[in-house]
Structure 1
Amino acid sequence: MVDSDGNCGFRAIAGLLDLGKNDWVQVRRDLLHELNNHKDEYVILYGSHERVEKLTHILLYFEDSPCFDCWMTMPDMGHLIASFYNVVLYHLSLQQCLTFIHLRSPLVTLADRREIAIGFVNGNHFVHMNAFLEAGHPVLFIAVLCQVHHHPCALEWENAYVSRVQQFKDNIGPSVATRETFDVVDID
């Protein structure tokens, strides 16, 4: 169980990585380290210095019960989590289901791969979802920004999941978002 205190997203990641439930501060520090060490790459990925600064503001909050503007944000944090911890991260919610893959490392064998799943429920709480992962499970769509902004050495990550992504496509409804960003269309 993950405490509902505004740090729940960071607590859930800590738990999924076998850290202590109170190691949410370390997760914030690790993600801040990832963001700062690869800042130029993340400015390109997120599209602006302002977005990187907003994420920095979120990650710099190390107190209990943060206000809403310092909660974990998805899909933004998914890229940082997958890359820093070298995991495949599945993010599930009623509104959005995505897979995040490492942006800078070559594919590792299936036996060496670590997959973790986080769910966003009730519009305000992150929970562990690993209990629902079974061998060969369908794979959520790979985040578009992972596909576009990965290093050449990381290309095979996406290819390793093609058939399992197709399984997922065959089972979802039309109201589930399968991209991080959307084009705004003026219908006037």
Structure 2
Amino acid sequence: IYHVNNWYGVGVGSVVFYNDAIDANTDRSLYRKDHVYTTADKIRAGVALNNEFKFGLITAMVDWGVYLYNPARHYYDNPEHPIYGLGRRPLFYKNDGAGSDEAFHYIRFGMKTRIWDNLYFSASAKTHLHICEYVEFGLGYQIPFLKKENRKHGEKIFHHRKNWWQE
């Protein structure tokens, strides 16, 4: 994350998701029932634009991501669809509205708080339009690339003690 100022940061990242809920035996009518789903079918990978907004000890996160590898885009195929048909859905496609299938992109939003120098707790939700795919809680560690004594004011890691990088 590149910190533009003391309250906003922006960055890009790569993401990999594994969704074990993709199954022919699920109650969701969106998935094709005639397909045998393998582990590779349940993996999605892509890139994301990350935004962070800092409010004191709390950081709000809003990420927008695009799937570059998404075999799940074919799980909703309708052979009678006038454009896509069965197995012809491109990487970027227009979905048929909320609840009909998943989009080629997602939005992930959440909150995190730093509980120690480089350790933080987070809670977030990954959504497709207004449908939440999952909610996650996590404990993270930020790898410090600069020693405290070598950090400039604009490169400091947020901490609740002012001027902690000068200690």
- Bin of the TM-score, shorter chain as denominator length: under 0.3
- Which structure shows the higher strand fraction? 2
- Which structure shows the higher helix fraction? 1
Q: Which has the higher contact order (CA 8 A, sep 6+)?
A: 1
Normalised by the length of structure 1, the TM-score is 0.22
Which structure is larger by alpha-carbon Rg, 1 or 2?
2
Normalised by the length of structure 2, the TM-score is 0.23
